[in-house]
């Protein structure tokens, strides 16, 4: 049995009876057992998955109505609430938190008969780009376990690329879906802000983050997006996408599309292999009939500073609720006065989370709000207006997803500033709310994955996915060897 099939292949095989869900799920659980020691993608594996698979097989056999997913095994980043399955955010603070409710994306997928196979690793509260900042230990890159898998949705990227599931849900605040997609050689989409409900996504920086799918194939991304996108009565910030079908016309090609090459993202500091891969991608897209022209977005210069200011500010407020009084981890109240207890329990946040909460509290404090937070918001509107202007000339934008190759675990953990700077290409989409996708495109001479990022205007996911699909169709990549 091939665990590397696409969602589309899985569904058609199950539907026509050549594949049983139980068999596939059992095989997937075996695979997880076999590779977890090397890659550590999962925080919690849901043992009930096999029972759900059996139920579905029965339904399929007796020709009962079955949802669109037909038992598709999905892994879910552990900051998305799943009723009855603990949701830890890779933090000691939520070590024992079992949500009483499903996130909207989860209930939508469940109602289409997807099977949640488990909850996957992340940087604590999604703060990081390597998955090293997990309370449960780092995830490892399946292409070379000495290397980081990217992050913060590292567990999602790893579980998909290591064939531990077919698709995964991650969340992307500053590149957290696209970075692991790029480093693990899989596809990752950050949708338009508001396209996918955030209800049940544990907030880190709520004005910029989105849940996004990770898969091995662009068509699987479109398939999942069809299920999870759209207005939600539980999230005031969701948009009406008029039930757009992202699958139809996916293979329309990109002939005649104008693609802007963001000059600031193919510049100083970029890895040589990434540089040449990007140029190669541009040439290939041109050979498919796209017109590529250089586009300058000079406000990108401020994006990293603006992002970390805004995200930290929101984090300091969003994470204030973790006082361990109503849920959390095992730590008695006895003998503590309220403030003493709260500071005591809150010392259990990891270093990176603490750093960002302190930074956030600082930029919001009286006298600094104007100096930092408001300035960051100004930079954000500047970026947004340059993006708007760019999309008057072009249909899509292109850049490498990450300016650098995956690096060794532990190599940059003590240099947060350098790490923050590697988010420069992904952050723009979050600050301006537009969709962006990372498509696996090449490998470096050292055998590490390189992803290409495409960006489109707000709510133009269809155009974006068509371009990604075109790029995928002319790319041949090796199979995972572990």
Partner 1 sequence: MTKIGLEVHCQLTKLESKLFCKCKTNYRTLPPNSNICTICTGLPGSLPMLNRKAVEKATMISLALNCKIPEKISFFRKNYFYPDLPKNFQITQYNAYGPTSIGSDGKIGIEGKEIRIRRIQLEEDPGRLIYEGSSEKTMVTLVDYNRAGTPLVEIVTEPDFETPKQVRIFLNVLADLVENIGISDPYLEGALRVDANISMGEGNRVEIKNVGSFRDVEKALHFEITRQTSLIERNIPVQAETRHWDDARRITVSSRSKEEEQDYRYLPEADIPIIVMNRDSIEYMKKQMPESIVARRERYIQKYDISPQVADVLSSDRFYSDLFEKSHNEKNAKEVANIITTDLMGFADTREKKMELKITAQHVSDLANSIVNNKLTRNSAKIALQEMVKDGKPLADVVAKLDLGHVSDMSSIEKIIDEVFQDELQAVSEAKQNPDTINYLVGKVMRKTKGKADPTVTLDIIRKKLSTQE
Catalytic center residues? 77, 152, 176
Asked if 331 and 345 count as a contact pair (C-beta separation under 8 A), the reply is yes
How many residues make contact with partner 1 (CB under 8 A)?
Answer: 43
- Interface characters, 209-248, with partner 1 (x: CB under 8 A): ------------------------xxxxx-----------
CA distance 430 to 311: 10
Nearest approach in angstroms of CB 384 to partner 1 is 15
- Interface characters, 172-211, with partner 1 (x: CB under 8 A): --------------------------xxxxxx--xx----
Under the binding rule (CB under 8 A), the answer on residue 365 touching partner 1 is yes
Stretch that binds partner 1, among 91-99, 243-251, 289-297, 464-472 (CB under 8 A): 91-99
236 C-beta neighbours (distance < 10 Å), count: 9
364 vs 482 by CB, closer to partner 1: 364
89 vs 442 by CB, closer to partner 1: 89
CA distance 85 to 96: 10
Q: At what angle do helices 461-473 and 218-228 cross, to 10 degrees?
A: 160
Residues 371-410 that bind partner 1 (CB under 8 A): 373-374
71 vs 99 by CB, closer to partner 1: 99
Cis-peptide into 439, omega within 30 deg: no
Asked if 192 and 186 count as a contact pair (C-beta separation under 8 A), the reply is no
CA distance 300 to 210: 20
Positive or negative, the CA dihedral 154, 404, 210, 438 is negative
Stretch that binds partner 1, among 16-24, 250-258, 365-373, 392-400 (CB under 8 A): 365-373
Asked if 18 and 5 count as a contact pair (C-beta separation under 8 A), the reply is no
CA distance 100 to 328: 14
Under the binding rule (CB under 8 A), the answer on residue 361 touching partner 1 is yes
Asked if 279 and 267 count as a contact pair (C-beta separation under 8 A), the reply is no
Candidate residues 3, 364, 413, 482; the one interacting with partner 1 per rule CB under 8 A = 364
CA distance 30 to 126: 28
Stretch that binds partner 1, among 28-36, 97-105, 158-166, 279-287 (CB under 8 A): 97-105
Candidate residues 317, 354, 444, 475; the one interacting with partner 1 per rule CB under 8 A = 317
105 vs 390 by CB, closer to partner 1: 105
Asked if 470 and 253 count as a contact pair (C-beta separation under 8 A), the reply is yes
Q: Which helix (H) or strand (E) segment is 273 a member of? A: helix 272-287
Nearest approach in angstroms of CB 361 to partner 1 is 6
DSSP codes, 161-211: HTTS-SEEEEEESSSTTHHHHHHHT-EEEEPPTTTB--TTBPPSSTTT-EE
Under the binding rule (CB under 8 A), the answer on residue 366 touching partner 1 is yes
1 vs 320 by CB, closer to partner 1: 320
- Strand pairing report for 167-172 and 73-77: parallel
- Interface characters, 57-86, with partner 1 (x: CB under 8 A): -----------------------xx-----
206 vs 280 by CB, closer to partner 1: 206
26 vs 364 by CB, closer to partner 1: 364
Q: Enumerate binding residues for partner 1 (CB under 8 A).
A: 80-81, 87, 89, 94, 97, 99-101, 103, 198-203, 206-207, 233-237, 313-314, 316-317, 320-321, 323, 325-327, 338-339, 342, 361, 364-366, 369, 373-374
């Amino acid at each position: 049995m091939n665990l590397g099939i696409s969602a589309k292949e899985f569904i058609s095989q199950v539907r026509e009876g050549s594949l049983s869900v139980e068999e596939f799920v059992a095989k997937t659980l075996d695979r997880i057992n076999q590779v977890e020691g090397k890659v550590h993608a999962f925080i919690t594996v849901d043992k009930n998955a096999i029972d759900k698979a059996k139920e579905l097989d029965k339904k399929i056999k007796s020709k009962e109505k079955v949802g669109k997913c037909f038992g598709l095994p999905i892994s879910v980043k552990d900051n998305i609430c799943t009723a009855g399955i603990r949701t830890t955010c890779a933090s000691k603070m939520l070590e024992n938190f079992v949500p009483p409710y499903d996130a909207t994306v989860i209930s939508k997928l469940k109602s289409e008969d997807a099977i949640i196979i488990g909850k996957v690793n992340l940087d604590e509260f999604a703060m990081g780009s390597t998955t090293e900042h997990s309370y449960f230990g780092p995830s490892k890159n399946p292409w070379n376990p000495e290397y980081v898998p990217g992050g913060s949705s590292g567990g999602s990227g790893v579980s998909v690329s290591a064939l531990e599931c077919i698709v995964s849900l991650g969340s992307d605040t500053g590149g957290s879906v696209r970075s692991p997609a790029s480093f693990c050689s899989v596809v990752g989409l950050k949708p338009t802000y508001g396209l996918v409900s955030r209800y049940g996504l544990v907030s880190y920086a709520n004005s910029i983050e989105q849940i996004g799918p990770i898969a091995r194939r662009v068509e699987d991304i479109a398939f999942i997006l069809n299920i999870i996108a759209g207005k939600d009565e539980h999230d005031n910030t969701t948009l009406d996408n008029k039930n757009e079908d992202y699958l139809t016309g996916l293979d329309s090609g990109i002939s005649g599309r104008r693609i802007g090459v963001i000059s600031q993202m193919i510049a100083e500091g970029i890895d040589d292999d990434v540089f040449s891969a990007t140029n190669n991608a541009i040439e290939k897209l041109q050979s498919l009939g796209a017109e590529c022209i250089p586009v300058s977005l000079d406000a990108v210069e401020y994006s990293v500073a603006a992002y970390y200011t805004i995200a930290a500010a929101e984090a300091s407020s969003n994470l204030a609720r973790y006082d361990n009084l109503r849920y959390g981890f095992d730590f008695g109240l006895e003998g503590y006065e309220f403030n003493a207890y709260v500071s005591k329990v809150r010392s259990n946040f990891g270093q990176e989370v603490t750093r960002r909460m302190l930074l956030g509290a600082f930029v919001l404090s009286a006298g600094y709000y104007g100096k930092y937070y408001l300035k960051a918001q100004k930079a954000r509107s500047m970026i947004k207006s340059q993006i708007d202007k760019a999309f008057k000339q072009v249909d899509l934008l292109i850049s490498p997803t990450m300016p650098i190759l995956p690096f060794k675990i532990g190599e940059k953990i003590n240099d947060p500033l350098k790490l923050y700077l590697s988010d420069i290409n992904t952050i723009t989409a979050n600050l301006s709310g537009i969709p962006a996708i990372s498509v696996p495109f090449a490998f470096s001479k050292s055998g590490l994955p390189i992803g290409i990022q495409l960006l489109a205007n707000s709510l133009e996911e269809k155009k974006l996915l068509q371009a990604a699909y075109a790029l995928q169709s002319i790319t041949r990549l090796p199979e995972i060897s572990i």
